[in-house]
């Protein structure tokens, strides 16, 4: 099992975004839980095959024989329970993070059927959206529209300048 320092080093090697916040680390940890569950199922299958009688092994099976079989079974069962323990602690940690963050249940629950999410592009504001916004959101929108106006004004000026250069 890897220590938390090893896990953080592995995160940095993969992508620094996973270390940007506690939530990002929790999401990465849940991805690791998913991989651990896959490994857990493989260990369970392998352990069950080690419990079968050696006479029933197919010729292509590479299962150990006699005493080695028991030792291998013990090793795999130990790894199985270590993985199971790490999975349950990671899930508990994620649940504690959700509880600590006080994430609204509506953010976790799936939306009701037939709900169409709003588009994420720039568009004309509607009357209903203006009523539910705060001051900071209004300022951000104002600055965005000013930026768009400035960019279009510069573009128009550059086009007019290019036309004047061509006609001269």
Given 108, 125, 146, the domain boundary residue is: 108
Residue 145 and residue 100 share a domain: no
Residue 92 and residue 45 share a domain: yes
More confident residue, 67 or 9: 67
Q: Over 70: is that where the pLDDT of 51 sits?
A: yes
Distance (Å, whole) CA 46 – CA 41: 9
Residue at 151 is within a domain: yes
How much is the pLDDT for 1? 46
Residue 98 and residue 154 share a domain: no
Query: What is the domain range of residue 63?
Result: 4-108
Global pTM exceeds 0.85 = no
Distance (Å, whole) CA 31 – CA 94: 11
């Amino acid at each position: 099992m890897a220590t938390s320092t090893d896990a953080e080093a592995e995160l940095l090697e993969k992508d620094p975004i996973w270390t940007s916040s506690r939530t990002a680390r929790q999401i990465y940890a849940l991805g690791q839980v998913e991989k651990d569950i896959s490994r857990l199922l493989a260990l369970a299958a392998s352990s069950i095959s080690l419990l079968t009688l050696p006479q029933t092994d197919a010729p292509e099976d590479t299962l150990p024989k006699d005493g080695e079989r028991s030792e291998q079974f013990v090793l795999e069962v130990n790894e199985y329970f270590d993985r199971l323990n790490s999975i349950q602690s990671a899930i508990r940690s994620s649940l504690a993070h959700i509880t600590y963050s006080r994430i609204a249940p509506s953010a976790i629950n799936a939306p009701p059927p037939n709900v169409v999410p709003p588009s994420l592009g720039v568009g004309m504001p509607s009357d209903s959206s203006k009523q539910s916004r705060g001051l900071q959101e209004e300022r951000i929108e104002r600055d965005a529209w000013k930026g768009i106006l400035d960019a279009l004004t510069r573009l128009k000026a550059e086009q007019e300048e290019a036309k004047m250069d061509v006609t001269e």
